[in-house]
């Protein structure tokens, strides 16, 4: 049940619209400005489309397309005109918005960043993609963790980006920090369609958390993005799904954070996010609260290494035309440091 896509909004509901945005081609500052205007237009469309909508979500690469162009002239900043336009659009339409920018990073490669802006034009969440889609993407790995913010109608929101959602640890971190709704924006193309669906559902079910997910849509003449707006309930069921592949279609659903909180408190069987840290509580008081997972302890100790590590063939971006990096994570580029 999702209130007929949000048409019948309940007192405790949060109505979300995910925009299967037409994949753009952005090569110049003029292209960037035009695409900014297009997104602003679609914020207004979302408000007209669904007066009850609380939050409109745009996919990853909504401004920049899939070219992987790192030209500084088309990179964005938090205080730049693109973000200012998004803020004003949220104010003008009295709606929350989730947006994607490729963010200028003078100390390294650009960040692939996401913003959640409230209906007063204030940034409530700012996130840098933790897991760029290597070896294809050149973006700097995120360095600010996974934030959670208060959202509309008393909800708790988190945002991850595209490939992030293929790592179950990302969704678990969102839920562990209190998120009831996890947004996943993406630019994925059709070969990833099945994995997209499975992970959107498993991220929801394994964490008793709703997920709202959307990709770019249509073709830019080279790539074909799949759309696939998909909203999943906390039991893993799909409650809204954009299967038409129609560009700029807005897929909507009502989510119920109050029912998510109820399930997290009352479920016994399959309350997995609680049980993960309280193993076997029927047998031992409070359950086992150790960390028996080698990959976790090794990662924390800085010695994560797979048994087949020496056989991995792709360990940089040279197969996709990028130079092999020489800079260690956390170090600035040489020209920026001089």
φ, ψ of residue 2 to 5 degrees: the values are -140, 30
Are 63 and 104 in contact by the 8 Å Cβ rule? The answer is no
Question: Which residue in 295, 232, 238, 283 sits closest to 260, CA to CA?
Answer: 232
Catalytically annotated residues? 60, 129, 162
- Token pair for residue 161? 């980006």
Give the three-state DSSP class for 273.
helix
**Cα–Cα–Cα angle for 61, 64, 70, rounded to 5 degrees:** 110
CA distance 253 to 183: 13
Sequence-ordered alpha helix ranges (H) in the chain:
3-6, 29-49, 81-93, 168-176, 193-205, 257-266, 272-275, 294-300, 334-337
Neighbour tally for 236: CB within 10 Å: 18
**Cα–Cα–Cα angle for 256, 5, 96, rounded to 5 degrees:** 65
């Amino acid at each position: 049940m999702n209130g007929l896509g949000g048409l019948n909004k309940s007192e405790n509901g949060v109505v979300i619209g995910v925009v299967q945005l037409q994949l753009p081609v952005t090569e110049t500052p003029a292209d960037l400005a035009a695409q900014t205007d297009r997104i602003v237009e679609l914020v207004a469309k979302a408000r007209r489309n669904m007066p009850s909508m609380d939050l409109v979500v745009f996919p990853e690469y909504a401004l920049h397309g899939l070219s992987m162009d790192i030209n500084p002239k088309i990179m964005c900043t938090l205080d730049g005109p693109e973000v200012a336009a998004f803020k004003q659009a949220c104010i003008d339409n009295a709606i929350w918005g989730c947006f994607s920018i490729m963010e200028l990073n003078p100390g390294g490669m650009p960040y692939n960043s996401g913003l959640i802006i409230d209906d007063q034009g204030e940034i409530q969440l700012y996130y840098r993609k933790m897991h760029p889609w290597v070896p294809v993407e050149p973006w700097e790995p995120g360095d600010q963790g996974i934030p959670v913010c208060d959202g509309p109608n008393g909800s708790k929101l988190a945002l991850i980006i595209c490939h992030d959602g293929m790592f179950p640890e990302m969704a678990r971190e969102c839920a562990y920090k209190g998120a009831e709704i996890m947004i996943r924006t993406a630019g994925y193309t059709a070969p990833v369609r099945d994995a997209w669906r499975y992970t959107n559902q498993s991220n929801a079910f394994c964490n008793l958390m709703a997920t709202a997910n959307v990709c770019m849509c249509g073709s830019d003449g080279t790539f074909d993005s799949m759309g696939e707006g998909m909203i999943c309930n906390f039991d893993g069921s799909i409650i809204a799904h954009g299967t038409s592949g129609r560009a700029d279609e807005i897929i909507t659903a009502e989510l119920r954070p109050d029912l998510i909180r109820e399930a997290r408190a009352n479920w016994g069987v399959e309350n997995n996010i609680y049980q993960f840290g309280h193993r076997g509580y029927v047998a031992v008081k409070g359950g086992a609260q150790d960390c028996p997972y080698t990959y976790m302890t090794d990662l924390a100790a800085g010695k994560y290494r797979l048994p087949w590590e020496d056989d991995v063939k792709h360990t940089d971006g040279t197969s996709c035309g990028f130079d092999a990096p020489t800079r260690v994570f956390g170090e600035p580029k040489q020209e920026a440091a001089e």
